[in-house]
Structure 1
């Protein structure tokens, strides 16, 4: 029940440091990729609704961190239809807004995210 409630309440807001192409995210500033930051563009997610649905699906499947900030998990993970693992990080602990980015392939947590995403398929 908690996961369904969480998935209904989380919001995807994006973050300009992870964007080269701002798509329809309405970010301010529009885009400002920073060296060393992974870019959402590599996941080919240019629509805020798509990013939001992935965030909600990650919450529904229970791919959430144990670390909680004001009742919001610090991180939520998801996987695109193309098999790219994503990590969302809490941006606003009052509203439950998150920004996300592709996980680096060298991250040892990628394998667990991929395995759990498939194991928890509805």
Structure 2
């Protein structure tokens, strides 16, 4: 709720004028989310190669206005629901020009086995990926049965980030040293710093 202050001023004729001034509320504090939330947890078992390949062949991204500040730039409809803890792509530097990178990020998360533990009509309801700059993006199923996902940045206070990073690290180090992508190693280090 906005705080209220009373301003006591005098006008040009010397009369007292009282005005009520509303101040903006303080910035919202992001409280850590618990990874124990059964609706959004990393699967206990890593998906096998067949499951990863099947999902990679079908998975697509579609933007969603809930996580965009500048809807007109993304050509998205306004979000009218209540979501006080939502995060915005623009707040972490992800702009419309970055949209072309989304298929790479989506497939990176699938290849790393960053699947949620719940499935709906054969597809995981949640996926995660790690961007080159270390931000973790959570991708939620938009339409079940169509492998259609929308994504948003995960807050650095989110406890689930450490699980995502651990599995991502395991995936990277499963490759022989000479085959490890330096960009992915840098993304891993940045994610570890941000979500520590």
Interval containing the TM-score (normalised by the shorter chain)? 0.7 to 0.9
Q: Distance in 2 between matches of 1:60 and 1:76?
A: 11
Structure 2 match to 1:57 = 108
* TM, length-normalised to structure 1: 0.84
Q: CA RMSD in A?
A: 2.3
Q: Distance in 1 between matches of 2:72 and 2:134?
A: 21
Structure 1 match to 2:134 = 83
| 2:132 aligned counterpart, secondary structure | coil
| 1:83 aligned counterpart, secondary structure | coil
* TM, length-normalised to structure 2: 0.55
* Greater Cα radius of gyration, structure 1 or 2: 2
| 1:120 aligned counterpart, secondary structure | helix
Structure 2 match to 1:71 = 122
**Does the 8 Å CA contact 2:120/2:145 hold for their aligned counterparts?**
no
**Does the 8 Å CA contact 1:24/1:48 hold for their aligned counterparts?**
no
Count of aligned residue pairs for this structure pair: 121
Per the TM alignment, residue 25 of structure 1 is displaced from its structure 2 partner at its CA by 4.5
Structure 2 match to 1:2 = 51
Contiguous gaps of at least 5 residues in structure 2:
1-49, 176-196
**Does the 8 Å CA contact 1:25/1:48 hold for their aligned counterparts?**
no
Structure 2 match to 1:114 = 165
| 1:98 aligned counterpart, secondary structure | strand
Per the TM alignment, residue 120 of structure 1 is displaced from its structure 2 partner at its CA by 1.0
